[in-house]
Amino acid sequence: MTADNSTRPTCTTRDILIEQLDWHWTNQLRPRLDGLTDDEYLWEPVADAWSVRPGADASDGGPGDLASPTAANPAAVNPTAPTTIDFAFPPPDPAPVTTIAWRISHVIVGCLGARLANHFGGPAVDYGTFDYSLTAGGALAQLDEAYAAWIGALHSLDDAALSLPVGPTEGPWAEHSMGTLIAHINREVIHHGAEIALLRDLYAHRDTLGAD
């Protein structure tokens, strides 16, 4: 007997890449962020954790003041902006522990925003000038907007476009294909989302951390 494939839906490489990320976002990652509070969003699990912070508005030299660089971030990232982020390239070794705020901002700016700007005509975005939110609600709105724009951009591609090189905006990976970049962004969103979920678990049990 010959199998009848006439009713089997067509599935392209683009569709597989989109479904992998969008299923994870819709069913696992985004629901995991519901109920995020401001305190949880900015919670620093250890001393000198990287986070987003007030910039120009912080002038007392306190722990949240990037105008007075900390040991974790000796080079302030645009401390005259209203809000700023702890960042260094190349990153320190070992890499600093980060807040949920930092992880969400990294996904918005470094993973999604920069690629939307470089490859799909999105607005220019970088770590030094982005308007970071100091509230969980504001950050989640920014994340939702960036994600919707990214998924929408992927739907504009066909499989032929996936085989084209990404070009010089990706530096040493310029000759790699767009499909490879999309698979990389899938990995980035999934693994940073898992880190955020773990930080939520640690925050929920913060009063017992270190207990015997």
Question: What tens digit of pLDDT does each residue of 116-132 get?
Answer: 999 999 999 999 889 99
Please choose, from the candidates 98, 100, 146, the residue with its C-alpha nearest in 3D space to the C-alpha of residue 120: 146
Please choose, from the candidates 210, 198, 209, 212, the residue with its C-alpha nearest in 3D space to the C-alpha of residue 40: 198
pLDDT at 82: 83
- Say yes or no: 155 and 91 in one domain: no
- Hey, which residues does 52 pair with through a beta bridge? 85
- Say yes or no: 91 and 159 in one domain: no
- Say yes or no: 27 and 104 in one domain: yes
pTM: 0.85
Please choose, from the candidates 21, 50, 16, the residue with its C-alpha nearest in 3D space to the C-alpha of residue 190: 21
Stretch 137-154: mean pLDDT? 98
- Say yes or no: 142 and 175 in one domain: yes
Look at residue 79 and tell me if it is in a domain.
Answer: yes
Residue 136: domain span: 13-43+99-205
- Say yes or no: 75 and 148 in one domain: no
Q: Strand, coil or helix: what is 165?
A: strand
- Say yes or no: 115 and 188 in one domain: yes
Say which residue, 75 or 132, is predicted with more confidence.
132
Look at residue 212 and tell me if it is in a domain.
Answer: no
pLDDT at 8: 62
- Say yes or no: 127 and 172 in one domain: yes
- Say yes or no: 137 and 177 in one domain: yes
- Say yes or no: 33 and 94 in one domain: no
pLDDT at 67: 37
- Say yes or no: 112 and 200 in one domain: yes
Question: What tens digit of pLDDT does each residue of 53-62 get?
Answer: 987 643 233 3
Domain count along the chain: 2
